[in-house]
Chain A
């Protein structure tokens, strides 16, 4: 059951972090909007790394599982940092109109990274607590 859940989570991560951003940018480009800082390779590499850690997170339990969970959230925070900094400048250029949209993520970027890291720490601690409880049960049974 946990294997199926891990694979499902990995697929969801891969779709939301790699496939959706890459395909949506192609759609946006067709509308005449360019994103100068967009780097498809970084999205594919970092998104795949996060997806691999998601799979490992679902499969590995106990102390090493907690470490993997923490690494996964750290990778996810780095992904957010890189991707958000890509989406800071949009240019609309058509024969009829010219426009630019500039975004400074400001405090929101730090909030996203901070909350992702805190979530990772909480999830890792949760996994550790689960492991300790299981060990206590085993000792009681013995």
Chain B
């Protein structure tokens, strides 16, 4: 095997290794974020004459080792069992660096008559939560993840 052939082979192996290492880092950071990066720190509700106001405080912590997270978008949508949307709120954080964290407060309101129907059990209400972000490094957005979860709201909570 010539020196040129050996060098080219070595370069090819190095490139493949860099790609494998990058994949492993993304997987590791994604796993860390999913295990302890997103926590609901506070939630509650207040009732006025016309609405029931709900709020949710979510702490997003970049628990990864290597990648920053960019364009963090948290959205909450309140829907009933037929998919009718009552309210939504969205917050965007441009950047959370490795080790950094941010509290995000989301506020939604439900009309009082809908809330009464919900309390009576006439309708079911669901909260759909969307969490979308980019894994980035040196201002290059590499990969976007979007997570959506739907949970039923229980009366009184």
By a beta-carbon cutoff of 8 Å, the part of chain A in contact with chain B is 97-108, 111-112, 115, 118-119, 122-123, 125-127, 129-130, 132-133
Contact = CB atoms under 8 A, between A and B. Distances in A.
Contact of B8 (A104, A105, A108, A125): A125
A111 B2 contact: no
Given A98-B150, A126-B5, A130-B2, A115 B145 contact: no
29 contacts: A97-B151, A98-B149, A99-B147, A100-B146, A100-B148, A102-B148, A103-B144, A103-B146, A104-B145, A105-B143, A106-B143, A106-B144, A107-B140, A107-B141, A108-B26, A111-B19, A115-B19, A122-B8, A122-B11, A123-B8, A123-B9, A123-B12, A126-B9, A129-B2, A129-B5, A129-B8, A130-B1, A132-B2, A133-B5
Contacts of B12: 118-119, 122-123, 126
A118 B18 CA distance: 13
Contact of A104 (B9, B144, B150): B144
A139 to B, nearest CB: 15
Contacts of B143: 103-108
A112 B2 contact: no
Given A102-B145, A105-B143, A115 B5 contact: no
Interface string B116-155: 0000000000000000101000001111111111110000
Main secondary structure, interface of A, reads: helix
A98 B26 CA distance: 25
A87 B148 CA distance: 16
Nearest to B134: A106
A45 B147 CA distance: 31
